[in-house]
A = this chain, B = another copy of it.
Amino acid sequence: MSVTPNPKQTINLGDIARALGVSVATVSNALSGKGRVSASLVPRIRDMAEAMGYVPSQAARALRTGKSGVLGLVLPDIASPLFPQIAQAIERAASASGYGILIADSRGDVGVQTEAINRLIERGVDGLIIVPRRGTRIASMDIPFAVIDSPSTPGNTVSADHWQGGALIGTHLALLGHRNILLIGNNPASNVQNDRIGGMRSTLSGCATVDVLWIEQHEAKHGAGALLGLAERFESGTTAFAAVSDLHALRAMTELHRANIRVPEQATITGFDDLFWASAITPAMTSVRMDMPRIADIAIASLVCAIDGKSGDEVGENTRVPMSLITRQTSGPGPVSNTHHHKRGTGTC
């Protein structure tokens, strides 16, 4: 066996200090920009660090300062629609603030969610961003945390204004001249869905006949994957189908297609969230989009603020970020639509 002196792999402040004949404190100060260091020394130290390929030890820094520079992100289900958008926006915002993101998937289970939060805390995150599983109330904890949820949920920090988003869709449909509309939701226990439905209703009431179909209830009766009876609805006069998610809008659209009802010529379909594939549909679907970058920025900003200032408390003050309409499909309800089209711009119907 050769006795090649195994050179230490990672070099540290001491190595730089030794190479330059100064103290580690000076090197640390020069590199961090804190404390007084003679102007002539700073560049020499910086260059040497660079040349030696110095990589600061986060572990040591974290141990010393008590801050890890890492935030935890808890999601109910990374793989289901919308959450990837959230994760991406959060990662960017955190990255821009110098933080890393540790992810945890609660798999839609409250127990797993609690466990995930604990594991994240054990890993030393400085704060937590939590997108709670439906109906979960996050108990207070020892570290700062931000909750992204519906505005109707008590205790949230920031969220899209789902009600206002619903209102955008409602107005859109009213202006197109629709007077018989079916709203399609999945689960009436969801705050987000209720807000969206409520928003749509609010701008439609009085000017259109509105009915709501809850898919889970429908499937409980007719079996999973059963037809939603949309063709029948169409026959009895419904001209617009407004779903609380692009996912359900897609289901509605294909169901109408199967009944040979043309979209958007004969019936209009709208969704929510502008999911990735929404633009792959021909013609693309009108949807409403959350401003994820802004939501993420607000969540991260309030978290960073809490970390740097006081700590151990829930942060934020229920900020509502407006949603925006992505208009892609503007047909009205068939032959009648032309008449109604002229009503555009009246605001209310």
A contact set with B: CB distance below 8 Å: 9, 55-60, 62-63, 68-70, 77-81, 83-85, 87-88, 91-92, 95, 100-105, 119-124, 142, 225, 227, 246-248, 250-251, 253-255, 257-258, 260, 262, 275-277, 279-284, 312
**B58 to A122, Cβ gap below 8 A?**
yes
**B101 to A102, Cβ gap below 8 A?**
yes
How far, in whole Å, are A12 and B258 apart by their CA atoms in the complex? 65
**B124 to A58, Cβ gap below 8 A?**
yes
How far, in whole Å, are A298 and B95 apart by their CA atoms in the complex? 29
Closest 7 CB pairs of A and B: A59-B62, A59-B63, A78-B88, A84-B84, A254-B282, A79-B88, A251-B280
* Nearest opposing residue in chain B for A77, CB measure: B88
8 new A-B contacts at CB < 8 Å, known A58-B123, A79-B276, A100-B119: A59-B60, A60-B63, A69-B123, A87-B87, A87-B103, A101-B103, A250-B277, A254-B283
Partner of A79, one of B85, B104, B225, B258: B85
- Assembly stoichiometry (copies): 2
Given A258-B282, A277-B275, A277-B277, decide whether A56 and B91 contact each other with a Cβ distance below 8 A: no
**A123 to B100, Cβ gap below 8 A?**
yes
**A102 to B70, Cβ gap below 8 A?**
yes
CB distance from A236 to the nearest CB of B (A): 20
CB distance from A122 to the nearest CB of B (A): 6
> Of residues A57, A102, A123, which shows the largest number of chain B Cβ atoms within 10 Å of its Cβ?
A123
* Nearest opposing residue in chain B for A65, CB measure: B59
**B81 to A276, Cβ gap below 8 A?**
yes
* Set of chain B residues within 8 Å of A87, measured between Cβ atoms: 78-79, 84, 87, 103
CB distance from A342 to the nearest CB of B (A): 27
How far, in whole Å, are A222 and B82 apart by their CA atoms in the complex? 31
**A277 to B102, Cβ gap below 8 A?**
no
How far, in whole Å, are A254 and B142 apart by their CA atoms in the complex? 51
* Set of chain B residues within 8 Å of A70, measured between Cβ atoms: 102, 123
* Nearest opposing residue in chain B for A143, CB measure: B9
* Set of chain B residues within 8 Å of A277, measured between Cβ atoms: 81, 246-247, 250, 275, 277
> Of residues A70, A227, A280, A281, which shows the largest number of chain B Cβ atoms within 10 Å of its Cβ?
A280
CB distance from A261 to the nearest CB of B (A): 10
